[in-house]
Each structure stands twice: as C-alpha cells, then as structure tokens.
Chains A and B, each alone.
Chain A
C-alpha cells in the first residue's frame, strides 16, 4: 500500500517547524499561518499515491519520491534579457516566478487591476483572498495539494473587479533554473460578476535539468464572469510536473481552457471544474509527447446544477516509448437537469512502443440531460495520406503534416495569437522528421 510520508517529508524539502513557517509574509495574518499549519499537518498524515490507487494506476510517482528536491529561497538574478525568449507580446500584465520565487524585476503590470505576488497581495487584499484561497483546491485528501499549501508564500494573484473586461491577456511565467529544486507555484484568480479576462500560465525551464514543479491554481468565477485559461506545460524533459487547477464557476459564468502538455519526464495535470446553474465550460487539451515521457491528464467536469453546458476535446500524440493517460470524468448530479455535455478523447500513436490509456467516464444522476462521449485510438487516415501523396508529398511528409494537423486542432483554440503561433511552430518541429 501507499507509504506514509513522515520520513520522506525531508525528501520533499519540508521540515516541520521549518523556518519557512516563520517566513509568512504577514505574521498578523493568523488565518494564513493557520492554513499553512493545517496543510503541514495533512502532509504528515497523507501518503504518496501508488499505482494501486485507481486514480494513479498508470502514473508511478515513486521516482519523484526517491529524489531529494529542495525549495529555492531566492531567485538567481535573471534579467529581462535572459527571459526575452519566454515573453509574449501584447500582454496586460506579466508575473514571473523563478524556481517558485517571485521575480519583481521581470514582472510588470499595465492592466489596471490587481495582478500581484501573493506574499504582497495577501496584505493589501486580505479579506478577498482569505475568502477564496485554498477553499477550492482541497488539501485534506491530496498530498500534492497539501504540500503546495504548506509552502504557500509566493504566487500569482489576479483580481478582476465586477464588470471589468480585460482585452489583453495576463501572462504568468513559471521558470525553472536549478537542478533538484522543488517549486510550489500557486495561482489564485478571482473574477467578479460580469468580468472577463484571459490568463496564460506557462511552465518553462532555462536548462534541461531534473526538478519538481508542484503547482496549484484556483479560480473563482462569479456570476456571468468569462475566463479564458491557457496552460502550457513545457518543462525540461527530465523534470517532474504535478499540477492541478480547480475552478468554481458560478451561475451563468463561462470557463474556457486549453491545456498543452509537452514537457516533463512525468507530468500529471488535474483539472476540476464545478459548474453552477447555467454555467458553461470548454476544457480542451493536447499532450504531445515522445521518448520516455509520461503525460497524465485527469479532468472532472462536475455539473452540480441545472442548465450547464460542457465541451471537451482531449488529444494525445504519443511517440517513442512514451505513455499518455487521459481520464475524463463528467458528472451530472441529481437535479442537474438540462445538462448538455459532450466529450471526445482522440489519440494517435506514432511508434510501436508508444502507449495510451484513456478512460472517458460518465456518471449521470439526472434524466433530462444530453450527455455524449467518445474515444478513438487510431492512425492517420489512409485516404488523407494518399491524397497528400497524390499531390506530390512523400509518405513521411504527408504523415508529418497530418500529425501536425491533428495536434493543431487543439492549438488553434488558444485565444492568444502569439502563443498559438509559437506552439504551432513547436508542434511542427516535433512532428517533422
């Protein structure tokens, strides 16, 4: 069975009574300290999941538990020049975290709303943050969430006031630089009634080294809010990435997300969206992996009230001996009548040793609903390959192009042009032999 964490606590870089606890940004904020203390306590009780846990059947995280990662305490002094290649044009605000530590010299905010580091924002906007922080991402049962919460310090806070509609996106860049570092990025987005914004979370690294990212994002959408969320995980190929995002969508609000997983040796992303009456959600994803990578995506779309609508398209392109996992649960609770949900899992295996495990699942407790899901695993369409070849492309070129097109369908849904083009270029490079 799972092993208790009491001993590996040290491995995870957490020492009970660690000076970190004392380093809470404002000692006056007792709730904040208490939150962390509760999380520390849970870390001591919870166990690291093993492949005997149904939810982790295909994702063996024991290699992570074996290694000793230490949280960084300070940034290594990068300049804007160092991160030039990681910036996006035309953003309303940019927050940069290096190895989990806020880098003010690399960040800027022209948005007119609060886009700030948690350690600062928690003082200025205490009540607003207290009402939402750690209220969505449960840390009672998840050891990764508990660890992240235990390390709460720096993190992105985006507060969009009622009725404010941001034209340009907010860019949060999580940059890894150090070998064996553990970072615990946190992001909290609170969208007021009728507000609108686009949030980009981008996980990247400066060098091909092994490290651990254990991220938690929480979003609270008030009535009629409309949030677009782009999550790009392009960690170093030998890194470990465990991330989760929990979204609470109030009445008639709308959450649209595109998540791309192409980095990390082992990655796991959990997306959990709860929809209130009349709320809508699209949750699209693409895993584009190769070599010995493992990319695991677990999503839960929870129709908790009537008249919700959800759409999901998840695609995996798997090469080498890589292994992609998708587990997409759509839940329709009792009384959530007139739910309209559609989910599709589409998968392409590129090599004889690549592997895919997909499990789209429906759990329905209401009768007046429209729910459908589908999953396919297959190859490129032979007629399409033939058509391209009849137009003069070599078979390889035809296959490459069609593989690219398969992935591009998801990338095209990213609402930020510059990022879209960047990712398409990367996908093109990946798919061309």
Chain B
C-alpha cells in the first residue's frame, strides 16, 4: 500500500475524550441482585422485574455465539458494571443539564439546544446508562407522538411498553438479547399513533463514558396504522485501553401501511492501531412488519467499534410489506465486523432489498452475513441483494456469506456480490488528471457508498460522509 493511502487510513479518533462528571456507578458483577438493583433504581413495576429475571435465567443456560467471523477473548461478565448514571439523574428541562454534559455533546456535534431547533430534529440523549435529555417533547406531544426515554415510557405508558416489549426480539432470542433483556438500563421509546406522519426526524445519541460500564440500551418504536417516522441514532465513546460491551436491543413494530425508517451512524471507539481497546458492539435489531403494506427500512453507517456483530432484520409478516437494509461498514486497523441482515418473508407479496457496502483497510476483517428466507407461505415474495466490497491494502479481508433459503416456488430472489479496490493504479489515474490522493479516495468511497448515503436524512448524509472522511482522509504524505 502506498504511503499516501497509509496516511489516509490512519486518522485519529476524535471522540475519544472522557467527560469529567460525577457518576453513580454500580459495583461490577451480574446476579439477580444486580437486576433487582437496576429495577429498583428505576422504580419499575413488578412485571418488568419478572421479565428481566426470566431473561437472566434463560441467559444462564445459553452459550456465546461462535459462528460469527470475529475473534476476541472470552468476556468476563462479572467484570462489568451494569449501571452508570451522571448525577443528577433526571432533569425537568434542558437548562438543568450539567454544563459539562452539554459541552460534551456540543463537542460531539449533537444538537441539543439552539442548534437542535435550527436543525428541526428532536433528540434523546443517552449518557452511559440513562437518558439525560429529550428535546422537542411538547411539540411532538401536540400531534400525539410520544418520544421519551424507555424508563419514562415504563412509568407513563406501561400498557404500550408491556404490549410490545419483547414481541419482536423475545427475551431469549440470542445470548446478547437475553443479557440485554435482563440488565437494560435505558433507551428511547417512540410511539406514532394512527395516521400521524411524525413532523420531524427523531434522534437518539448514545455515549458511553465510564470505563468499566457496559451499555445495554433498549429502543422500542411503534408506528400504528398509516403512521410514519424517520429515526436516527448516533454513538460514540471515549478511548480506553479496555474493551467495553455494548449490547443493545432495538425493536420496531409497523402496523398496516406504517413506515419506519431507522438510520444509524455508529462511531464507537474502535481501539487503537494495534487493536487495543474499543467497543464490542453486539446488537440485536429487528423490525416486525406486522401490518399489510407496512415498510421498515434500516440504514446503517458502521465505522467504529473493535468488533461489530449486528444484523438489523425485518420479519415481513404483513401482506405486501417491504423490508430494506442499506449498509456501509468500514473497518480499519484491527477492527472486525460481521454484519448484515435477515429478511424473513412470511406474508404474500412481501419484498426486500439489501444494499451492503463493506470497506476494509489495515489488517481488518469485514464480513457481510445475510439471510434471505422465503417461507412456504410467502407466495410472490421478492428479494434483491447487492453486496460489494472495497479493499484498501493487501493485508485486510473482505468476506461475503449470503444465506438464501427459499421454500416457495413463486418467489424470486437475486443476490449479487463483487469486489473492487483502491490501489496505486486508481490513485495514479486521478493524480494524472490533477486530483490528489485525499480527494481521490473520498470520491471513490462516496461513489462506492452512494446508494446507501442516498437513504440517509440530508443532515446525516453529510455527517456520515464526514465520518468516513475522518476515518479515511487526512494529511497526504
């Protein structure tokens, strides 16, 4: 790899600072006592404590998945703190937010105050384990949209939470989902009532700040008949030499004719150039297209984390429902990503579309793993998948594992994959036309990712482009 390229891919992580703020951190370790403590701190109803304890019981019987194409030492679940919250814990308005916190999010470019209003985006901010602020609540409430932290939702809208939580990702779904169900601390809740088009983008910003805490947030979004919403989450964490575990669960439910668009820009700390530190991002995200003609669309730009293991999925139960997955995953240095999606076609006439772009640099490994299953009931189902890999340098790996399982003869499934590279010849061609390496790489990457970036809300498309830039642009040697 040329030195120009090497310089380009070795950019420092800009969100790696620690906020000096007083936090209420629980002692390390996991037991039924830990779970009772979390539940008590949140003043949860009995049914939720039971939900947690059941999940924990199930988790104890499970084994960590070994099939992903990622490698890491065994996680000591007793060495993690399962609760960490900045003091004071709950705020009545933005004005009460610790100025240190505000500065943190300012630094991260998260619009929490004036800028939030200008951008017209409602933001829920999760700092370590708790939601610290939600903006635009009142304006949303006026049209009937509920947007708050999940803890608040448990208190204010228990019937909704109880009805839907665990209905898409059952407590015992997989190892990390079970762990999350037992110990989740906070997350966002969003409910769009019948016929309402959410008037603004909703956004949650996740930040891990404490070294030995895990982050186990839980997000639940429900769109009733004819409702629609576009939602974005962003994630960062400070640089630590140790690895932090992030095991989130996201559940989406779309009823008849509902439309949910969920976008993620994930930039957790990825570890240093020698692979030390970084987040283990083991996340379960699943949407249920429950109603006819419903649509769930996942867009993710994954640039951070030491290890990423996530498959935002769609269960297409409603007739003529649609699932989409648009992904850019970039790995550099020692990062490992095993990511993709599952499209489970159950209803008649269901359609899905998968566009995955993997970019590998350094000595990283980037795997696409995707399942398209057409159940015998899914007459006339359609799927199209496109999985492209871009390699930068000859020490990285790009892998494609598509699983296609078809049990209905009227279904049509198409999958395509290809590889390309950014190498000397490509850069030389640009240089010969007077375009420097930095700009060339940025052009090539943006061209490669175009179909995915087009799916992001405008402001976040810019953010995502810049993020990839942070990872791959810089001083040219």
Question: CB atoms of A and B under 8 A apart anywhere in the complex?
Answer: yes
Chain A residues with CB under 8 Å of chain B are 54, 334-335, 337, 347, 349-379
Cα-based distance from A378 to B415 in the complex (angstroms): 12
Query: In the bound complex, what is the Cα–Cα distance between A337 and B407 (angstroms)?
Result: 38
Q: What 1/0 flags go to B402-440 for Cβ under 8 Å of A?
A: 111111111111111111010100000000000000000
Contact of A375 with B415 in the complex, beta carbons under 8 Å:
yes
Interface string of B29-59 (1 = CB under 8 A from A): 0000000000000000000000000000000
User: How distant is B331 from chain A, measured CB to nearest CB, in Å?
Assistant: 13
Q: What 0/1 pattern do residues 367 to 385 of B give for CB contact below 8 A with A?
A: 0000000101000000000
Q: Which of chain B's residues have a CB closer than 8 A to the CB of A352?
A: 376, 408-409
User: A369 contacts which chain B residues (CB < 8 A)?
Assistant: 391, 419, 421
A-side contacts of B417, CB under 8 Å:
360, 362, 371-374
Which residues of the other chain, A, contact B403 by a CB distance below 8 angstroms? 357, 359
Note all chain A residues with C-beta closer than 8 A to B399.
361-364
CB atoms of A367 and B421 under 8 A apart: yes
Question: B416 contacts which of A350, A364, A372 (Cβ < 8 Å)?
Answer: A372
Do A368 and B67 have beta carbons less than 8 Å apart? no
Does B17 touch A at the CB level, under 8 Å?
no
Smallest CB separation, B432 vs chain A (Å): 19
B395 close to chain A: CB less than 8 A: yes
Contact A362 B400 (CB under 8 A): yes
A291 to B67, CA, bound (A): 33
Counting chain A CB atoms within 10 Å of each CB, the highest count among B67, B392, B397 belongs to B397
Residues of the B chain whose Cβ atoms lie less than 8 Å from the Cβ of A353: 376, 407
Residues of A within 8 A of B402 (CB): 359-361, 375
Given known A-B contacts A354-B409, A359-B404, A367-B392, A374 and B376 have beta carbons under 8 A apart: no
B389 pairs with A364, CB closer than 8 A = yes
Does B178 interact with chain A (Cβ within 8 Å)? no
0/1 per residue, B241-253, Cβ < 8 Å to A? Answer: 0000000000000
B419–A370 touching, CB < 8 Å:
yes
Which of B67, B398, B410, B414 contacts A379 (CB under 8 A)?
A: B410
Q: What would 15 more interface pairs be, CB under 8 Å, given A371-B417, A373-B417?
A: A54-B67, A334-B395, A352-B376, A353-B376, A353-B407, A355-B406, A361-B400, A366-B394, A368-B423, A371-B418, A374-B414, A375-B404, A377-B411, A377-B412, A379-B412
Q: Can you give 28 A-B contacts (C-beta < 8 A)?
A: A54-B67, A335-B394, A349-B408, A352-B376, A353-B407, A358-B404, A359-B403, A359-B404, A360-B402, A361-B402, A362-B398, A362-B399, A364-B398, A367-B392, A367-B421, A367-B423, A368-B423, A369-B421, A370-B419, A371-B419, A372-B417, A372-B418, A374-B416, A375-B404, A376-B413, A376-B415, A377-B404, A379-B409
Docked Cα-Cα span, A351 to B376, in Å, equals: 11
Residues of A within 8 A of B409 (CB): 349-352, 354, 379
B406 touches A367 (CB 8 A): no
For the complex, what is the distance from the CA of A373 to the CA of B403, rounded to whole Å?
Answer: 13
**Would A355 and B423 be within 8 Å (CB), given that A362-B398, A374-B417, A378-B412 are in contact?**
no
Q: Please name all residues of chain A whose beta carbon is closer than 8 Å to the beta carbon of B393 when the two chains form the complex.
A: 367
* A12, chain B: closest CB distance, angstroms: 29
Residues of chain A lying within 8 A (CB to CB) of residue B423: 367-368
Q: Which residues of chain B are within 8 angstroms of A358 by Cβ–Cβ distance?
A: 404, 406
Which residues from chain A contact B411 at a C-beta distance below 8 Å?
Answer: 349, 377-378
A347 with B406: CB separation less than 8 A: yes
Residue contact B376 to A357, C-beta cutoff 8 Å? no
Contact indicator A349/B415 (Cβ below 8 Å): no
- CB of A357 within 8 A of CB of B404, answer yes
Task: Tell which of B394, B421, B423 has the most Cβ of chain A within 10 Å.
Answer: B394
| A368 with B418: CB separation less than 8 A | no
Q: Flag if A364 contacts B397 (CB, 8 Å).
A: yes
Which B residues are in CB contact (< 8 Å) with A363? 397, 399-400
Q: Which residue of A lies closest to B420 (CB)?
A: A370
Cβ contacts under 8 Å, A349 to chain B: 406, 408-409, 411
Q: Is B344 an interface residue (CB 8 A)?
A: no
Is B401 at the interface (CB under 8 A from chain A)? yes
Given the complex, which residues of A lie within 8 Å of B421, measured CB to CB?
367-369
A365 contact set on B, CB distance < 8 A = 396-397
Complex Cα distance, B408 from A373, in Å, reads 23
Tell me if B419 and A362 are in contact (CB < 8 A). Answer: yes
CB distance from B351 to the nearest CB of A (A): 14
| Residue in A367, A370, A379 whose CB lies within 8 Å of B396 | A367
Which residues does chain A contribute within 8 Å of B404, judged by CB atoms? 356-359, 375, 377
Which residue from B376, B401, B414, B418 sits with its C-beta under 8 Å from A376?
B414
Residues of A near B391 (CB, < 8 A) are: 364, 366-367, 369
| Contact present for A356 and B406 (CB under 8 Å) | yes
A353, A367, A370, A373, most chain B CB atoms within 10 A: A367
Interchain CA distance A142-B411 in the complex, whole Å: 36
